[in-house]
């Protein structure tokens, strides 16, 4: 199974696990910033949203780790100075930097933003 297939499967699973979420994915089917913001807001009181959010973020971190571990198979040498880490404050700050602000959240894919944040915070080169 390719890394791309693994990531696609993970994202589909996250979308299917959250039928109660009102925010939708982007028009191209990616997990939107709006979806994650809604999950983050409701996670304290809605166990389903908390579970979906935890699964998405944990799966995202694990997938980035798998991709980096396998990158040597494709001739890339990537090293990181620190462990991968995200928390609610970091995610919120990353989303606040979205071009267009909240008006763009519904059509902005969350995954690339968070992958970039993970790699930058870990000091990967």
In degrees to the nearest 10, what's the CA dihedral of 68, 72, 77, 83?
30
Whether residue 7 is predicted with pLDDT greater than 70 in this model: the reply is: no
Does residue 53 contact residue 41 with C-beta atoms inside 8 Å?
no
Whether residue 17 is predicted with pLDDT greater than 70 in this model: the reply is: no
pLDDT band at 22 (very low <50, low <70, confident <90, very high): low
Q: What is the pLDDT of residues 41-83, one digit of tens each?
A: 999 999 999 998 999 999 999 999 999 999 989 999 899 999 9
**For the whole prediction, is pTM greater than 0.85?**
no
3-state secondary structure 17-35: HCCCCCCCCCCCCCCEHHH
Q: How far apart are CA 107 and CA 31, in angstroms?
A: 9
Q: How many domains does the chain have?
A: 1
Q: What residues make up the domain containing 10?
A: 3-121
């Amino acid at each position: 199974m390719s890394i791309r297939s693994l990531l696609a499967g993970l994202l589909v699973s996250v979308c299917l696990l959250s039928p109660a979420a009102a925010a939708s994915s982007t028009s191209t089917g990616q997990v939107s910033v709006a979806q994650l913001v809604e999950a983050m807001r409701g996670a304290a009181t809605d166990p389903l949203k908390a579970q979906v959010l935890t699964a998405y973020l944990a799966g995202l971190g694990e997938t980035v780790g798998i991709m980096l571990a396998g990158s040597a198979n494709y001739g890339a040498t990537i090293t990181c100075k620190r462990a991968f880490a995200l928390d609610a404050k970091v995610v919120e700050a990353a989303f606040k930097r979205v071009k267009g602000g909240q008006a763009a959240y519904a059509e902005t894919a969350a995954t690339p933003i968070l992958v970039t944040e993970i790699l930058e915070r870990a000091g990967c080169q």
